[in-house]
Amino acid sequence: MRKLRVLVLMDEELMPPDDLSGFSEEEVLNWKAEYDVVVTLGELDQHVLQLGVSNDLGVIRNALLEFKPHIAFNMLEEFHGVAIYDQHVASYLELMRQPYTGCNPRGLMLAHDKALCKKLLTFHRIRTPDFIVFPRGRVVRRPRRLEFPLLVKSVSEEASFGITKDSLVYDDESLIERVSFVHDEVETDALVEEYIEGRELYVGVMGNRRLRTFPTWEMLFKNIPDDIPNIATARVKWDPTYQKKLGIVTQAAKDLPEGADEKIAKLCKRVYRVLCLSGYARMDLRMKDDGAVYVLEANPNPNIAYGEDFAESAETVGISYSQLIQKIIYAGMKYQPEWRA
């Protein structure tokens, strides 16, 4: 790879240390992706500048003017602590005519509004769980078409923030309680969905115009007690001890129905296009026993830590982690925003 000036934009609080010694597995998880990307860019002999960002566009502007990066490696997931503001940072980079990695602002905006995203998918006849949004400050009245059990989550948060086993509700009383929880504790509107019992699948997608998908990945819950639903709660995703206890593993999905692999890949590319995504993304899906696949959400700029689902699934088709990082950079350099047209 030719030597590039790479500006790695990351959350000020997630700036990784130089090495991992002295940190617990749980601590490392917080900034593992940032660490892995920086280390890999170093191994690729790139000219790297790490920039911590929290609430000041000025620091980005200065870095762009002084460092003149060939590419901004965008690892920001929030601004002012607000998750959906990441799209504005991508917009700012575009207004500064700065090539960047990952998704464009429009795709970020569409995908992060889970309800809007589901409306778009429904228009295109792509299966997604039936739903209703309960905005903050409004009474919760369940429409009769939505039958229990229902899953209650945030309309815009990520990383299973606010998702616990209590997110699955079986009656109106607990529905109202859980919606209040999302309003008060997660501090967003609540999305209430038909619960899809089934296999939990993830699919990596990369590209701008020509897309490629990685093999369908699955989260297995090997030792989960019967009274706990098999959903990817925040604990399941982020607590290594709990993961061991429940026997959580992710791996290439085995024994899918015949033809499902190709169908899923096609479906994920359609979703990617419908939501105007670019760069790279991971689709979260559930498959019912009858083989019907539902799109839960699309994640532009997903976790790219080494060993996480996206990178692992790429590796099984011969894309090493370092090649993956290079591909992400090339996709960013090739993306054609308006100012280049």
Ligand X SMILES: Nc1ncnc2c1ncn2[C@@H]1O[C@H](COP(=O)(O)OP(=O)(O)O)[C@@H](O)[C@H]1O
- Choose from Mg ion, ligand X, none: what does 195 bind? Cβ within 5-8 Å by kind: ligand X
Residue 302 contacts ligand X per CB under 6 A: no
How many other CB atoms are found less than 10 A from the CB of residue 341? 5
**Residue 11 or 284 having the CB closest to Mg ion:** 284
**Residue 63 or 201 having the CB closest to ligand X:** 201
Q: Which of 34, 113, 297, 312 binds ligand X (CB under 6 A)?
A: 297
Q: Which of 101, 160, 213, 301 binds ligand X (CB under 6 A)?
A: 160
Residue 308 contacts ligand X per CB under 6 A: no
Cβ–Cβ under 8 Å, residues 296 and 271: no
Cβ–Cβ under 8 Å, residues 240 and 338: no
Q: Minimum Å distance from CB 162 to ligand X? A: 8
Residue 268 contacts ligand X per CB under 6 A: no
Q: Minimum Å distance from CB 284 to Mg ion? A: 4
| Alpha carbon distance 299, 292 (integer Å) | 21
CA neighbor of 33 nearest in space, from 7, 60, 11, 55:
11
- Spell out the alpha helix ranges (H) of 214-340: 234-238, 240-246, 260-274, 309-315, 321-334
How many other CB atoms are found less than 10 A from the CB of residue 13? 10
Q: Minimum Å distance from CB 285 to ligand X? A: 9
Show the site string, 2-41: x = touches ligand X by CB under 6 A, - = not: ----------------------------------------
Show the site string, 91-130: x = touches ligand X by CB under 6 A, - = not: --------------------------------------x-
Residues lying near Mg ion in the complex (CB under 5 A) are found at 284
Cβ–Cβ under 8 Å, residues 84 and 156: yes
Q: State the chain's maximal CA–CA distance in angstroms.
A: 60
